Amino acid sequence: MEKTNPGKKTRRNFLLYMVGSSFTSVVIGYLFPQASQSREVDLENLCSLFPYNSRCQNYLPGIEGLDLNGKAIQVNTLLTTATPGIPIPVKGLPDGSVDYLIIKDGPKIAEYAIRPICTHLGCTVKWHPQENHFICPCHGSQYDSQGKVIHGPARRSLPLLTVVVKENQVRLVDVPPAKDLR
């Protein structure tokens, strides 16, 4: 009686392995067709999240920021008159809201803007230059010029949206920044 060596590879085992692998590949391609097809990149999403990506070099994400009179904001003009630490109202998003640009030392425009929606009950807060705070008219929550809570009942900071400064334009992207940069 001839003994077979279990560790020895045979031609039959190799062919069974190849047929099984091919069959499994076909089944996976059939069950998950999206994974095997190349998808076109949505430039708006890509450039909103990663504005300095090489594909976004000539692409302007989001919506152009406007001043309260409806005129496009020119970065070079804004920075000559802006004071660091004083939020600047900006419009442009489809919901018609007034958001606030943040001016940093330099001066330069921050990569985020403040959505003036109170995190307590959703009231619209207003900037009060005399107090140097955002104040909620509903329950008195107060936020500093960066949108951080300084007096409750609100417990969370004001929400943010992404700002892209490109080609002397301020672009508003209705997506929170990947990281809270306050």
Query: Looking at residue 39, what is its pLDDT?
Result: 53
Residue 29 tokens read as: 């391609």
Instruction: Give the Å distances, CA to CA, from 155 to 61, 85, 118, 128, 152.
Output: 32, 22, 10, 20, 6
Query: Looking at residue 135, what is its pLDDT?
Result: 95
Predicted confidence (pLDDT) per residue in 106-153, tens digit = 889 999 999 999 999 899 999 999 999 999 999 999 999 999 999 889
Query: Looking at residue 180, what is its pLDDT?
Result: 82
Residue 71 has pLDDT above 70, yes or no: yes
Query: Looking at residue 132, what is its pLDDT?
Result: 92
Measure the CA–CA gap between 61 and 73, rounded to whole angstroms.
15
Confidence of residue 36 (pLDDT cuts 50, 70, 90): very low
Predicted confidence (pLDDT) per residue in 84-104, tens digit = 989 999 998 888 889 999 999
Query: Looking at residue 29, what is its pLDDT?
Result: 79
Query: Looking at residue 15, what is its pLDDT?
Result: 85
